[in-house]
Every structure is written in structure tokens, then in C-alpha cells.
Structure 1
Amino acid sequence: MNRRFAAALLISATALSISAAAATAQQSDDMSKMPGMHMDAGKAPAGSATAKLGDLDISGGYVRAMLPGQPVGGGYITIYNGGSSDDKLTSVSSSAAGKVELHEMKMQGEVMKMREIKEGIAIPAGATVTLSPNSLHMMFKQVKTPFKQGGTVPVMLMFDKAGMVDINLPVVAPNAK
């Protein structure tokens, strides 16, 4: 009788473990379909910027070099919230640009649309949010000097709860992904 009970308990525990793994995989898959939401840090160019601010781990930061005549620059970063409460990236500023906006690009039918996200970008507890090309990103406007590969762009990231952090983003090739 004890062996049967132990076997049933082992089978139940295994089934529960498999169900939990499947639920985690489904959640990860669901999040990966949301723009900018990923459970992994994604790929960033070598030498990309990193920082730590409270529960937030900031990594993979970079900007693309600007092509001649290009009026705006794009910046990208990955933020992992290791805490138990949500936070929000509320704004970004840079001495290299007159204005930095948080933007989102997404497909609407056959057309790629871009819009400013004035309310900021949510950083849910336990999640990773990636600002990357053709998704969520930083848009540098009124750039004082075009970003050149090999340089850096200073930015200040402002978060609702964690506060602010200064970080220097390396300038990579214009076609870096």
C-alpha cells in the first residue's frame, strides 16, 4: 500500500512539474508576441552599455550611426526587472539631442506605423523589455552632431520607481540589429 501511494505521489508531482513547465513556456511564448516583451535579453552588439539601478538590470544598450542627411537617430536597450513590483521607463534625455522620445513601431495591416509613447514603457516585475529596431525604441531628435560609429551617446533614463541612471551608449554600424 505504501509503495502504491509513493508511486501515485511521484506521478502526481511529475505531472505538476510538466504542467508548470508548459505554462511557463506558454507565458514566455505569449510575451514574445508582444512588441518589445521578451523573456531573454536578445542579441546586442559587442561592447554594448550596461547598468544596474535598484531591481533593474540594463543591458545591450547602443545607438546606430546616422547616415548622411538622416535627421533622427535610434537607440536600443534591454531592461530586466528583477523586483516584485512593476516599474516604468518614463523618459529619456541626452545632451547629444534636443529631444529624445520613446517610440513604438508596429504593423497595421500592410503598413508599418510609428508613434510616440507619451505614457512611458511598462517594465513588469520579473519581465524583460527590449527596445530594439522595428519595435519599441528611443528616437533621438534635433541631433546636435550626427552619431558616428565608434563614438558614444550619453543618455539619462528616468524610471517611475527606480529613479534615474546615466549611461553612455556606444555608436555601432548603421545597419546593426
Structure 2
Amino acid sequence: MDVGALERQATDNQDVARALSVAREYSGRQEARKAEAVLRLILSGHPEHPEALHELGVIALRSGRPELAVPLLQRAVAGAPDLWTYHSNLGVACRAVGRQTEALAAYREALRLNPQSPACHHNVANLLRQTGDLDEAVAHYRQALAANPDYHPPRLPLAEILHGAGRTAEARRELKAIPATAPEAKAAAEALARMGNG
């Protein structure tokens, strides 16, 4: 469906669900401009529609415009405060613009809403590591792995912290647990080589 036809339909019927579906289709096909046009159409009639705000914020993030994403995602969170993905994406946007305190608060809220999510623990841990709170970062990396041992992204940063603390044997175990097919495999092999056989 073209944007013009959708605009006529949305104006006539206020078919927001259909418009959101079309926007997601465009977004999935990497047609961000068309998706944005549809989402802005929805927002012209429903300025605080949380899902449209969230989708538009995610598009802004993906296109390298986190400064535009932050206010959109803040409004989405205000309208749908129980959706952990909204908080998580707000955390990503805040972190991208250097608002670490707000990013950590958003990540923690996402984790509160979805405590078994390895990705939520990983996001909190990465930010804690960046701000120097290594003990709590380690705890969250370990919780991410406990939630899903096959979720490997936490292993490399966890190993780096452990190695830096002189716990090289533990670090090597984490790196060796990363399968050769994982995206982190090359970096893990390089880290193992730097650590030597100790």
C-alpha cells in the first residue's frame, strides 16, 4: 500500500493498527522514510500514541540520530510505562548521547520489568563497566549467563574484567565457552592469545 492511499484511509477510518502494520513492513524492508511518513501520519491524529512514538524513536536510533530518538522514546515510555523494550531502547538512546545516568535508570527499569532477560542484564552490566562499577557489572554479566548460558555477548567483557582483576583462569573459562560460530569468537580467540596459557 502506498503512503498516499494509507493517508486517505487513516484520515477516513483512523485505522491506526493497520497503519502501524504498514510502518513495520516498511521498516522491515529497510524503507525508513516510508515508515517515518506513516508513523508521522499516525502521530498527526494521535500525538501521544506510544507505539508510533516508539517505532519512530527506533528508526531514529537505527539511522544514527539518537538525539531525535531520546524525546520520542521518553514520550513512548510515558504512555506505556510497563513495556520493558521501550525502556531498553530509551537506555540505548540516552547512552548514545552521553546521558549515562538516564541510560542506567532506563536499563534498570527494563530489567525490573523483565528480570530474566539476559540482554537487560547485559545492558546494565556494560554501562556499569563503563562507569567503573566493576563488581556490580560482573554480577549482572553472571546473571545474564545464568538466565541463558547460550547468550554469549556477556562472556567477553566479563572475561576482560576478570583478567584485569588477576582472575585469569576464570577469564579463560569464559572465553573458551564462546563457540567458534558465535560473533564474539574471533575477539575471544584474540583475547585468549593475549592471556597466554596461564
Greater per-residue strand proportion = 1
Normalised TM-score (structure 2): 0.26
Greater per-residue helix proportion = 2
Normalised TM-score (structure 1): 0.28
Higher relative contact order (CA 8 A, sep 6+): 1
